[in-house]
Amino acid sequence: RIVRSDEKTDDFKPEKAGTISETKELSLNAPPSATGEKPVNPYRRKEKKATSANIWRRSSDGPVTVAYDREQFETLKSNALKWNDMRKENRQLTVKLEGAPLNRKNLAYADLNHASLAGAGFRGADLSQADLRYADLRGCDLRESKLYHADLGESDLRGANLWRANMSQSRLDGALVSGSTVLHTGKKATPELAERYSMKFEKD
């Protein structure tokens, strides 16, 4: 039957004020159990454990592993001449700067011959008169970089992007390019263009 708002029923028992809040308070502040374990707070956000998998530098494509040598990176980006002195003192040094972010850095005159630089970022960097002979430059971003008088002889430029790079008087003899290499003109490398610049061409 329909019960009016002013009508009392025998089975209606109002709930005591504060019952729900008191129950929560008791559950959250309950004393430790006999085993010594603290009560679990159901409202506490679970924290993620810090691991090498979730503290990597991230990109839109997922985690990125930092493969380059940190000490070498810091020395090169701060002072190219100091870097050159370090290489003179240790001729056997293996340069490991794969994927290093060197965009817009002043690397003029840097000695980077035989360096492992695959995937490194050099966009807008000044590499004027840098020694890049036999360097591994596969997949490097060299867009808008200054390569004036730079020596890239016998370097590996497969997949590199040289769009709008200043290649004035740079040496490219024997450099290896592929169909995925973007030249400073914006065109992709072809056997004909490679021959024009005294480079070698390899199919992807």
Q: What is the structure's pLDDT at 25?
A: 44
Asked whether the predicted pLDDT for residue 12 surpasses 80, the reply is no
> pLDDT (tens digit, 9 = 90+) per residue, 134-171?
999 999 999 999 999 999 999 999 999 999 999 999 99
- Which stretch of 23-32, 33-42, 115-124 has the lowest confidence by average pLDDT? 23-32
Q: What is the mean pLDDT of the chain?
A: 81
What pLDDT shows up at residue 114?
Answer: 98
pLDDT of res. 66: 52
Distance CA 201, CA 188 (A): 11
Name which residue leads in pLDDT, 150 or 60. 150
Please report where in the chains the tokens 């003192």 appear, as a residue.
89
User: Taking the CA atoms of the chain, what radius of gyration do you get in angstroms?
Assistant: 32
Amino acid residing at 204:
D
**Better-scored residue on pLDDT, 146 or 26:** 146
The half-sphere exposure of 99 on its side-chain side, counting CA atoms within 13 A, is 9
Q: Look at residues 175, 203, 174, 182 and name the one whose alpha carbon lies nearest to residue 191.
A: 203
Q: What is the pTM of this model?
A: 0.69
Secondary element (H or E) of residue 63: strand 62-64
Residue 132 has which token pair? 């890049």
Through-space distance between the first and last CA atoms of the chain, rounded to whole angstroms? 83
Contact in structure between 167 and 146 (CB atoms under 8 Å): no
Yes or no: say if 101 and 123 are a contact pair by the CB < 8 Å rule. no
Decide if pLDDT at 37 tops 80. Answer: no
Cβ atoms of 73 and 97 within 8 Å: the answer is: yes
Q: Which domains does the chain have, with CATH numbers?
A: 68-204 (2.160.20.80)
Under the banding of pLDDT at 50, 70 and 90, the label for residue 26 is: very low
| 117/46: higher pLDDT | 117
**Sign (positive or negative) of CA dihedral 59, 62, 68, 69:** positive
Confidence of residue 39 (pLDDT cuts 50, 70, 90): low
Q: What is the pLDDT of residues 183-195, one digit of tens each?
A: 999 999 999 999 9
Q: pLDDT at position 129, please? A: 98
